[in-house]
Amino acid sequence: MKSKLLLKLIAAGVMASSVTMQAQAHKAWILPSSTVLSGDAPYVTFDAAVSNSIFSIDHAALNIQGVTVVDPKGSPVELENTSKGKYRSTFDIQLNEQGTYKVATASGGLRARWEDEDGKRQRWPRRGQNATDADFAKAVPKTAKKLQVSQSSRRVETFVTLGAPTDSVFKPTNQGLEMVPVTHPNDLFSGEEATFTLLIDGKPAKDASVEIIQGGSRYRDQQNEIKVTANDKGEFNVTWPDAGRYFVEASYEDEQAKAPATKRTGTYVAVFEVLPM
């Protein structure tokens, strides 16, 4: 009995340690119930969350107020049956047009950190605060000490296709870090290589860092992440080791920001489904 109890305590300690490590880097994602469909006007259900483990419902619901859906003709699609719980948000969309749809949420703007006259650290905007670049001059003192200003962007996407894949939704906005696929994201198969291009404000995101993690990491001893770096054209390649759902996160940083920012950062996240051969 004592040995069994000891094993349980050790296991609990390992799990707690694992959760603590995972909690250091929460992941935001939008996960479709299906990515490749056929038939007459089918529906797709989406989970949207911020989690410790990939695709686990264990931290917080993603705010879906900013989620937009574009159909193959470039028209907006209404989110149906929206709901927000403690740990996840859900919604449905109906596919009435043949081709590829993009589901995305994007944000960005100036971010500032400084010290006030008393040496206390300050930041703008505060966590959860909605602010525009026009508010910057009012919010940040001109006499701020150790001022650091960055231009940041964040984009979270996924794609679903009814019938044959199309490319119209991949036209870049030239704002922030974006992905333009060479290999269609709804045409991915295990054992095959896929190529994607990353752009920062419309130009190749050279040396962007990319991390790819297959779902189900909660049940693995290791994340088995795939790490690659974009080349001079902003391209990166990945050969999918297995079928399944994958979390893809790209990060970029440089010093080519517009004043008053001195640093430009971008984060791009996508959820892909890889099918068996």
- Report domain extents, the chain: 5-108+149-274
- The tokens describing 247, both together, are 């979390």
Three-class DSSP category at 220? coil
Over residues 89-113, the mean pLDDT reads: 95
Residue 236 pLDDT greater than 60, yes or no: yes
Residue 59 pLDDT greater than 60, yes or no: yes
Lowest mean pLDDT among 2-11, 31-40, 204-213: 2-11
Lowest mean pLDDT among 15-29, 59-73, 82-96: 15-29
Residue 237 pLDDT greater than 80, yes or no: yes
More confident position, 17 or 188 = 188
Which residues are bridge partners to 200 per DSSP? 177, 203
- What is the reported pLDDT for 137? 81
Do the Cβ atoms of 196 and 144 come closer than 8 Å? no
Three-class DSSP category at 170? helix
Over residues 26-50, the mean pLDDT reads: 96
Residue 71 pLDDT greater than 80, yes or no: yes
Lowest mean pLDDT among 62-66, 124-128, 193-197: 124-128
What percentage of the chain's residues is helix, strand, coil (to nearest 5)? Answer: 15, 45, 40
Mean pLDDT, the chain, as a whole number? 89
Residue 9 pLDDT greater than 60, yes or no: no
- What is the reported pLDDT for 130? 67
Name residue, tokens 């094993």: 7
More confident position, 226 or 21 = 226
Under the banding of pLDDT at 50, 70 and 90, the label for residue 197 is very high
Phi, psi of 23 (to 5 degrees): -70, -15
d(CA 218, CA 8): 18
- What is the reported pLDDT for 103? 98
- What is the reported pLDDT for 25? 65
Name residue, tokens 């044959």: 164
Alpha helices in the chain (DSSP H): 2-23, 136-139
Residue 5 pLDDT greater than 80, yes or no: no
Which residues are bridge partners to 148 per DSSP? 113
Neighbours of 236 (CB within 10 A): 23
Under the banding of pLDDT at 50, 70 and 90, the label for residue 1 is very low
Over residues 222-242, the mean pLDDT reads: 96
Residue 86 pLDDT greater than 70, yes or no: yes
d(CA 180, CA 197): 5
Strand 80-84 relative to strand 60-61, pairing: unpaired
**CB-count burial class (<10 Å; 0-12, 13-18, 19+) for 45:** middle
- Type of residue at 181: P
Under the banding of pLDDT at 50, 70 and 90, the label for residue 4 is very low
- What is the reported pLDDT for 16? 40
Which residues are bridge partners to 272 per DSSP? 246
Strand 121-124 relative to strand 193-200, pairing: unpaired
- DSSP 8-state code for residue 86: S
Please, what sign has the CA dihedral across residues 107, 148, 179, 189? negative
Q: Which CATH superfamily is domain 5-108+149-274 in?
A: Macroglobulin (MG2) domain (2.60.40.1930)
Cis peptide before 125 (omega within 30 of 0): yes
Taking alpha carbons only, the member of 72, 76, 99 closest to residue 187 is 99
- What is the reported pLDDT for 135? 82
Do the Cβ atoms of 201 and 176 come closer than 8 Å? yes
Summarize pLDDT for 115-155 with one digit per residue, the tens. Answer: 888 888 988 887 766 667 788 888 888 888 889 899 999 99
